[in-house]
């Protein structure tokens, strides 16, 4: 693998937890728990490979429609993840960020998020972003509202608004757009994930369910990315 061409920003739609549990006759939350174990390894391996930004889709704005016990279980796993992993993440200089409106999360989950952000805020290594209560359309609406308020206050001229202006007001402000988006579980869609930022991302879909997504599978996806000829609308 050509380490100099490793994607700077990898984003992952972690799909297949429920199907993984169903295949084993388990409740869906057990699939999410197994997925959490897989996430630990992918975060570590991102650092090893030299990925600078890792963004994972943990809970979408649409996921509130799921059964209450599953939603509750997901947030309990978030609390568990922070409790178990935050010291190691901090020791490895990982900077944790949250994309999305996490003010709507249960109190214990909000406390866990606050702890993760405060503990790692000064770290300068891998930027590990967790999309929580995140939706791509909601992200764009938020940016539009910010621009509208600034224009109404006379702080900006509407004619000066451009793509950079929008990008600077998204949750991913200050981050490069993802070079590679990986979706596990075999579904071919973005599911409202980073839809502005994904304009020229390379997409790799694997049938592997998220709990079975090992560092070896991760490297396969990156190797597929390295075969791509990225032209960004131009011609070589």
pLDDT score, position 2: 79
Q: Which of 2, 47, 63, 160 is catalytic?
A: 63
What does the pLDDT read at residue 234? 75
- Reading the chain (236 residues) residue by residue, the pLDDT tens digits are 777 899 999 999 999 999 999 999 999 999 999 999 999 999 999 999 999 999 999 999 999 999 999 999 999 999 999 999 999 999 999 999 999 999 999 999 999 999 999 999 999 999 999 999 999 999 999 999 999 999 999 999 999 999 999 999 999 999 999 999 999 999 999 999 999 999 999 999 999 999 999 999 999 999 999 999 877 777 66
Q: Which pTM value belongs to this model?
A: 0.94
| Res 229: pLDDT | 81
Q: What is the pLDDT of residue 231?
A: 74
Question: Closest Cα partner for 56 from 22, 13, 86, 99?
Answer: 13
- pLDDT computed for residue 164 by the predictor: 97
Domains of the chain: 3-135+178-226 (3.40.1180.10)
Choice among 15, 47, 139, 177 that is catalytic: 15
CA distance 225 to 215: 15
**Pair 53, 8: CB distance under 8 Å:** yes
Known catalytic residue at 15:
yes
Nearest one of 10, 39, 2 to 176, comparing CA atoms = 10
Q: What is the DSSP letter of 232?
A: T
123 is catalytic: no
- Rounded to 10 degrees, what is the CA torsion of 193, 79, 73, 75? -40
Alpha-carbon distances, residue 132 vs 97, 155, 221 (angstroms)? 10, 30, 24
Q: What angle do CA 17, 20, 21 make, to 5 degrees?
A: 90
Q: How many residues does the chain have?
A: 236
């Amino acid at each position: 693998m050509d380490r100099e061409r490793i994607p700077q920003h990898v984003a992952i739609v972690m799909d297949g937890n429920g199907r993984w549990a169903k295949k084993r006759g388990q409740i869906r939350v057990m699939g999410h728990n197994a997925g959490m174990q897989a996430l630990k390894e992918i975060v570590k391996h991102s650092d090893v490979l030299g990925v600078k930004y890792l963004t994972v889709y943990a809970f979408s704005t649409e996921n509130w429609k799921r059964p209450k016990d599953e939603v509750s279980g997901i947030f309990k796993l978030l609390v568990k993840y922070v409790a178990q992993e935050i010291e190691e993440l901090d020791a490895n200089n990982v900077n944790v960020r949250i994309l999305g409106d996490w003010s709507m999360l249960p109190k214990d989950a909000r406390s866990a998020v606050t702890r993760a952000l405060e503990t790692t805020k000064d770290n300068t290594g891998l930027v590990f972003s967790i999309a929580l209560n995140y939706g791509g359309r909601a992200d764009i609406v938020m940016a539009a509202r910010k621009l509208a308020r600034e224009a109404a206050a006379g702080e900006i001229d509407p004619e000066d608004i451009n793509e950079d202006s929008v990008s600077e007001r998204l949750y991913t402000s200050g981050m490069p757009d993802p070079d590679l988006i990986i979706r596990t579980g075999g579904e071919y869609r973005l599911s409202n994930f980073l839809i502005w930022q994904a304009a020229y991302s390379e997409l790799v879909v694997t049938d592997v369910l998220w709990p079975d997504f090992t560092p070896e599978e991760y490297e396969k996806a990156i190797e597929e990315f390295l075969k791509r000829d990225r032209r960004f609308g131009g011609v070589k």
